[in-house]
A and B are shown apart, each in its own frame.
Chain A
Amino acid sequence: MLHRPFSRFLRWFTALLGTYLVITAILSTSVDPWRINATPWASSSLDASREISQDRRVGKAALANRGTWQAVIIGSSRLEIGIDPTHPALPPHRCVNLAMTGATLLENLTVASYALERNPQLKTLIFGIDPGDLHSASDSRNSNHFYQSPFADNNHSIERDINQIIGWHSFTESIETLRRHWQGQRPKFSPLGQMLQPGDHENLRTFVESMPLDGAADQWNLRPQILQQHKAERLAEFITRVRQLGIAMYIIIPPQHALKQIHPTEDRPDAMGWERDLLALREICTAANASAAPAPPVQLWSFLSFNAFTAAPMPVPGAPCQAVPGWFDLGHAGSALGNQVLDTLFAGRPGATAVASPVGVNLLDAQWQAIRAAWIEAHHDFCVSHPQDAAWWRSLVARAAKAQATAHSPN
């Protein structure tokens, strides 16, 4: 008698909790919003509606886990937006874009290792390194997004697995996926991991003016910066490992708009932008290629160049359209330039379109002095041919430098 009300309480409580858990588990495993559960009963018809933009590290880990990839693209948002895994030069349905917004070198090496371990048929690895990364202490693994993703080897896999099955976020994402499916709405990411809709800046000029431009000092070696030795060592070890596995690796410095490459004051500077980084990478790759391995030597390509794509002019102030075709902002180009990057990388391969003039340069093929001289000449030509754009950009850089100097003044 005494226990009857407590038993009734427990019956109600377990019924409510059990119903919630069962419904959520069924929904999450059958909809599988991030493709992470990969249950046999997960609906394949929903694949085009699955969205990973809010949880891309979870979603990309799920993609990496598939185990059937022959080519993998890794890097930051520049590759996530720009490199199309369905490019004809890449193996059809066997290439995935695992690049992620905000990812820096150490996280990318972790992601690459994760992909390597799970995809035994991997033959090609396109690995993007943002300029400046080798000299910067930043480590994007120090974020909750990475920490909560399967890429982090931190003994939290059980917690993550349960969360992805019965967590409230899984439940709401499952409902959202179904809603997108029924309304025919496309997600921001392709099923192969490329970001398709990075979002529009209606007025690119205003957007750029609102952004912080504090990289010029590092870009032009205006302040001392030390090479992050541990990053360089990890990269060298990784290249050696990849070559031993017989995988062709392409390291690329992703393209940026020409304005982001020009010197703050000089039309004909006496150095290349990010020269320290390029030289350090060249040294690392040359050393790694010196050893014998079943794979071809690693290639190192810089797409920091001046060409028809990167030198696209800024819109005239007051014109109705204030966008620059092919560019999301001045640091992120779309697939049009990305395809040129792939055509340049895979020139001569089936599926690659012949390019009239390559949009990048293989830093290991040519003499450094020749590369340097050609780049400086192209820099000069751009500044002379786009004087208004260059002046506008330089005024922004000068303003940012002044603000930074004031902020660091003693008082």
Chain B
Amino acid sequence: MNRHGTRVPAGGFSFASPLVEAALQPISDALRPACQGRPARRIALVESTFLNYADVCPVMLFSTYTFLLVFLPLTLAVFFLLGRLHWRWSTVWLTACSLVFYAWWKPEGNQPWTPWFLILIVASCSGNFLCGNAIARSSNPARRRALVTLGVAVNLLMLFYFKYLGIFATWSHALTGWPQAVPHLVLPLAVSFFTFLQIAFLVDVYRGDPTDYSFGDYLLFVTFFPHLIAGPIVHHRELISQFRPRITKPSPRCLAIGCTVLAIGLFKKIVIADGLADTATPIFQFAATATRALTLGEAWVGALAYSLQIYFDFSGYSDMAIGVSALFGIRLPLNFNSPYKATSIIDFWGRWHMTLSRFLREYLYIPLGGNRCGPLRRYTNLMLTMVLGGLWHGAGITFVLWGTLHGLYLCINHAWRGLRKSLGWRPMPAALAGLLTFVAVVCAWVPFRAGNFELAAAGNAQLAWHTSARFYQAMLLPPHGPLWTPVTDGDIMKVQRAIRPLISGLLIAFLLPNTQQFLGRFSPHFRAAREPAYQRRRWWGWRPIPLAAAFVFILLLVVTLEMDRGGEFIYFQF
């Protein structure tokens, strides 16, 4: 019997081909968890296999009734009421609510609540604000350089301590036998996000950007709850410039548009992404538990389903963040622009998690030298940026693999582009280029998803690594036997469970307009100065009419229907 209560086939499961296994064995042995104690890790997805009651962490999700019917209406109502007294009271209230939103998180389900993480984020904000002010006030270049180095180093050390100490200690133990034990560290919620925001702030101050902010504005910029725990990674200039008296006057326009974008985000997350998770999760669990080999069909369905799941999950979250923020009259930057419609990997990274790409480009790739120091240095910088980007997503070997794959893709893409231009070749047909890009991205998501088995409480790096290997084995060199429906547990590949959600997801991702296209000129995202606000009206575009109100209501009704699932957002773990 397997853990799903279904029979395991007689004959068992043979792991990937001996060649692949032999190649992986040394790495796998090195990754075998040997340390006493547990490295810093936190349950991200509620995986039935690895779910541990004591490890489930309550977070106030946008997709909960508590948030939608209690926290948000209360925050909004008091925000506008206080705005009648003075707009500053409203921003103080918003900051307080954002801190409550953050403090709602309880890192370990069976442990009492602790103010430690609230103190940590406020202390981090205070320290960075003071450091930024000291840099701004100083006219001595050496002192400015020393201060910014210190500030960035402290931020990175904090991130390293909470997020990476465990994994590096595990690796060190596997290689050298030291240290004997790793303390159990809890990864503070959103530490990666608020650290990046503040590093960008310090670097910009050092570069001479005008940053005459009050501490209240700065604290609200970092802790503003719509973007606090999973982005978008906003820039201080984008957000603080909007903290003005006008936001405290309730605007029917902002409320109508905000509700619409919030409803679309909820639909993407709860209906589409969680529906696709029902297809992807059991397939990845089969690969992880190795109860049997995956068929070719299962492996591709699993990889495609997860690729769509993570897109709808994260873009849904970003929509919700933009929608919630719009209710307060504040615009957040776009994070997604139909990334699977990209025709190259370079294009993909201009459409996927756009605010992270921007951060990595401006604060890592360009300072490293970017493309200004010759091709070799450029490719090195690209690889380094993407590997660190992978590591940012998760302290695990498979996240490094994901980053490395994307680094390689980018190098190949740049090299190909250079070669094509030098030889005078025409670009590849867009459909073929799009298909190639999509397949490359799907393949890279496999180790990314397998990384969950490393982050889960009962998981380890070896398990994540083997899961990826088993997946690639089935996708590229399927074992003898059925190619599509497995002999046992065939329910996974049933049309209504696998094919229908997958095709629906693909059609929505490739054929339907994205949220900002649907909203058109009403889209509430933060626009760069060069971006035109006006877009052509389409017959299918959103407009403030009763039919659109009914549409939004129906979206919410379908969301309510699916809301009992109670999944978490994938990007909370980062």
Residues of chain A whose beta carbon lies under 8 Å from any beta carbon of chain B:
2-3, 5-10, 12-13, 16-17, 20, 139, 141-144, 146-148, 152-156, 158-159, 162-163, 166-169, 212, 214, 403, 406-409, 411
- Tell me if B418 is interfacial: C-beta within 8 Å of chain A: no
A13 touches B65 (CB 8 A): no
B552 within 8 A of A: yes
CB within 8 Å for A409 and B545 given contacts A147-B53, A159-B65, A162-B66 = no
Report yes or no: A154 in contact with B14, Cβ–Cβ below 8 A: no
- Bound together, the chains give a CA A158 to CA B66 distance in angstroms of 7
Closest-CB distance, A79 to chain B (whole angstroms)? 21
Q: Max chain A CB contacts within 10 Å: which of B9, B56, B557? A: B56
User: Residue A9 contacts which of B69, B113, B251, B544 (CB distance < 8 angstroms)?
Assistant: B544
Hey, which chain A residues are within 8 Å of B550, CB to CB? 12, 16
The verdict on B560 contacting chain A, using a C-beta distance below 8 Å, is yes
Q: Give the contacts of B521-574 with A (CB-CB under 8 A).
A: 543-546, 548-550, 552-553, 556-557, 560-561, 563-564, 566
B56: chain A residues within 8 A (beta carbon): 147, 154
Mark contacts of B36-56 with chain A using CB atoms, 8 A cut-off: 1 yes-contact digit, 0 otherwise. Answer: 000000000010100111001
Known A12-B549, A169-B564; judge A6-B65 contact (CB<8 A): no
Are A403 and B255 within 8 A (Cβ)? no
Q: Please state if A152 and B53 are interface contacts (CB–CB under 8 Å).
A: yes
B83 to chain A, nearest CB (A): 17
Question: Which of A13, A403, A407 neighbours the largest number of chain B CB atoms within 10 Å of its CB?
Answer: A13
- A-B pairs with beta carbons under 8 Å apart, 20 shown: A5-B544, A6-B253, A8-B544, A9-B544, A10-B256, A13-B553, A20-B557, A141-B53, A142-B48, A144-B46, A144-B566, A155-B109, A162-B66, A162-B69, A166-B65, A167-B65, A167-B563, A169-B564, A406-B11, A408-B12
**5 closest A-B pairs by CB:** A12-B549, A6-B252, A162-B65, A9-B544, A141-B53
- Mask for B1-41, Cβ within 8 A of A = 1, else 0? 10000011111101000000000000000000000000000
B67's nearest neighbour on chain A, judged by CB, is A159
Asked whether any CB of chain A lies closer than 8 Å to the CB of B70, the reply is yes
Q: Contact at A212–B252, with CB atoms within 8 Å?
A: no
Q: Does B259 contact A (CB under 8 A)?
A: yes
Kindly identify which residue among B10, B69, B552, B564 contacts A13, using a CB–CB cutoff of 8 Å: B552
C-alpha spacing A158/B69, complex, angstroms: 11
Name which residue of chain A comes closest to B551, CB basis. Answer: A13
* Cβ-neighbour of B10 out of A16, A166, A169, A403 (below 8 A): A403
User: Nearest A residue to B46 by beta-carbon distance?
Assistant: A144
CA distance A9 to B253 in the complex (A): 9
Q: Kindly list chain B residues whose C-beta atoms are within 8 Å of the C-beta of A169.
A: 564
Once A17-B556, A407-B9 are accepted as A-B contacts, the answer to whether A142 and B549 lie under 8 Å apart by CB is: no
The one of B11, B251, B564 that contacts A167, using a Cβ cutoff of 8 Å: B564
- Nearest neighbor of A162 in chain B, beta-carbon distance: B65
* B566 A148 Cβ-Cβ under 8 A: yes
Residues in B neighbouring A5, C-beta threshold 8 A = 543-545
A297 to B56, CA, bound (A): 37
Bound CA–CA A5/B99 (angstroms)? 35
- Least CB distance from B474 to A in Å reads 17
Closest to A172 in B: B561
- Whether A139 contacts B564 by the Cβ 8 Å rule is no
Q: Is B64 an interface residue (CB 8 A)?
A: yes
A3 engages B253 (CB within 8 Å)? yes
Shortest C-beta distance, B519 to chain A (Å), equals 13
Is the C-beta of B106 less than 8 angstroms from some C-beta in chain A? Answer: yes
Quick check: B252 and A3 within 8 Å, CB to CB? yes
A12's partner among B64, B546, B557 (CB-CB below 8 A) is: B546
B445 to chain A, nearest CB (A): 25
CB neighbours of A411 from chain B (8 A): 12, 14
Least CB separation from A20: chain B residue: B557
Q: In the complex, what distance in Å separates the CA atom of A304 from the CA atom of B427?
A: 76
B10, B58, B255: the one contacting A156 at CB < 8 Å is B58
Contact yes or no, B52 A6, CB < 8 A: no
Cβ contact within 8 Å between A154 and B552: no
Expressed in whole angstroms, the Cα–Cα distance for A407 and B14 within the complex equals 10
* CB–CB B7/A16 < 8 A: no
CA distance A406 to B9 in the complex (A): 9
Q: Name B145-200 residues within 8 Å CB distance of A.
A: none
Q: Report B5 CB to chain A, min CB distance, Å.
A: 8
Q: Are A10 and B252 in contact (CB under 8 A)?
A: yes
User: What's the Cα separation between A164 and B560 when bound, in Å?
Assistant: 12
Smallest Cβ-Cβ distance to B257: which chain A residue: A6
Inside 8 A of A3's CB, which chain B residues have their CB?
A: 251-253
Evaluate whether A407 and B560 lie within 8 angstroms (CB atoms) in the complex, with A8-B546, A9-B546 already known: no
Residues from chain B with Cβ under 8 Å of A144 in the complex? 46, 48, 51, 566
* Complex interface: chain A residues within 8 A of B7 (CB): 212
CB distance from A146 to the nearest CB of B (A): 7
A407 and B9 CA atoms in complex are apart in Å by: 7
CB <8 Å contact, B109 and A406: no
A contact residues around B109 at 8 Å (CB): 154-155
A380–B10 Cα distance when bound, in Å, is 33
Q: Complex formed: what's the CA distance from A9 to B257 in Å?
A: 10
Asked whether, in the complex, the Cβ of B553 is within 8 Å of the Cβ of A16, the reply is yes
